[in-house]
Amino acid sequence: MESEDVLTRFRRMGALLDGHFRLSSGLHSPSYLQCALVLQHPEEAESLGRALAECLASLASGHLDPTAVLSPALGGLIIGHEVARALGVRAIFAERAEGTLTLRRGFDLAVRDRVVVVEDVLTTGLSTRETMSVARATGATVVAACAIINRSGSQSPVDVPFAALTAINPPTYQPDACPLCALGVPVVKPGSRRTESGRG
Ligand code: ZN
């Protein structure tokens, strides 16, 4: 799967929007990404998972020998499941309990496990690194990490081999320094489908 194909799919499904957005961080950006709008289609999720599994295979010349996929909830769940399907291993997830990412529901990893950490989007890498720590705390080995989209600006954002299907680096602005605000373009809070000058 080519990098441009991925972005074309995302745009077609409204998962990558151009405009003027207020991100959850409070920063403004001309670009907004919502992977769930692509992953809601099982055939798309499966296809992205297969493509990521192929990238992972080429990362280590086929010597990853993974035994499990671990994803952070919620964003990594669906793509983690599909990468695991393509790799032929189980898919488990870590979730927050009192602020700390942890394995629950009887999920476990053993020292012999070789873990691939899978995310939908890698932004700062913080969530992927936290998920890697969860795996390592069990004694398992993290052999690779991957994300559908890398928006970190770095090709190797974590300390294991890393794969992504595509990379984007949209600019972000402090609200008081936003050129779109300066032009008077209404700012949209993604997911709300209305401008901030509207209700609430
Ligand atoms: Zn703005």
CA of 190 to the centre of ligand 1 (A): 13
Does the pTM surpass 0.85? The reply is yes
CA of 178 to the centre of ligand 1 (A): 4
Query: String of b and e for 128-145 (b: at least 16 CB within 10 Å)?
Result: bbebbebbeeeebbbbbb
| Residues ≥6 apart with Cβ < 8 Å to 178 | 20, 28, 187
Q: Give the number of residues written for the chain.
A: 200
* Residues whose beta carbons lie less than 5 angstroms from ion ligand 1: 28, 178, 180-181, 187
CA of 187 to the centre of ligand 1 (A): 6
pLDDT in tens, 69-88: 999 999 999 999 999 999 99
pLDDT in tens, 3-58: 789 999 999 999 999 999 998 888 999 999 999 999 999 999 999 999 999 999 98
CA of 176 to the centre of ligand 1 (A): 8
